[in-house]
Amino acid sequence: MSNVTFHQATNEDIPALIDLSLRGYASIRELGIHFAAATADEELVKRNINENICFYMKDGDEMVATASIRMPWGTHHGPYEVPHIWWVAVSPEFKRKGYATKILDFVEYDFLRDKLHCPSVTLGTAKEHPWLAEMYLKRGYKEVGEADLGKGHTTVYLEKLLLSKTYKKR
């Protein structure tokens, strides 16, 4: 990680984001888990960029990771009334180098906590995935629910407090 920069995606980034997503989610497809991002096409990526907040990370000139945020007022919002992270992908040739941590830190702290002053954030992952839920638990997320969304797996919802002093559960 020599020259890491973060960018908000635009329509010009669609081809690179499709490529990154399809390569980054190959192992998810192999597990038979049906995440929308695992079969990304131009229409889905364009909708994600225009309806959500989609970031990507570059190391030098190379796009290495992406993460998106679904906002509570959006058409494809998360299950709770806080921002919801989804579509986290790292290019396979850059896995296990800390890029997922870097882009999640940027989204959680630099953007959601420091810029938007969000008290918490949620995300969902497949209960059947062998290590994703554990990774998020190690990042400080807590399990807050489960749902069968009819996609062939159980979605586990996790929440992370970002501004604990201002957070009030209803």
Q: Choose the most confident range, by mean pLDDT, from 13-17, 25-29, 33-37, 89-93.
A: 13-17
pLDDT band at 170 (very low <50, low <70, confident <90, very high): very low
pLDDT band at 39 (very low <50, low <70, confident <90, very high): confident
Whether the CA torsion 138, 22, 106, 102 is positive or negative: it is positive
Report the pLDDT value the prediction gives residue 25, as an integer from 0 to 100: 85
Q: Over range 12-26, report the average pLDDT.
A: 94
pLDDT digits (tens, 9 = 90+) for 43-56: 999 999 999 999 99
| Residues 6+ positions from 30 with CB-CB distance below 8 Å | none
Q: Over range 7-29, report the average pLDDT.
A: 93
Residue 169 has pLDDT above 60, yes or no: no
More confident residue, 159 or 126: 159
Task: Report the share of the chain in percent with pLDDT over 70.
Answer: 94
pLDDT digits (tens, 9 = 90+) for 66-103: 999 999 999 888 889 999 999 999 999 988 889 999 99
Domains of the chain listed by start with CATH number:
4-118 (3.40.630.30)
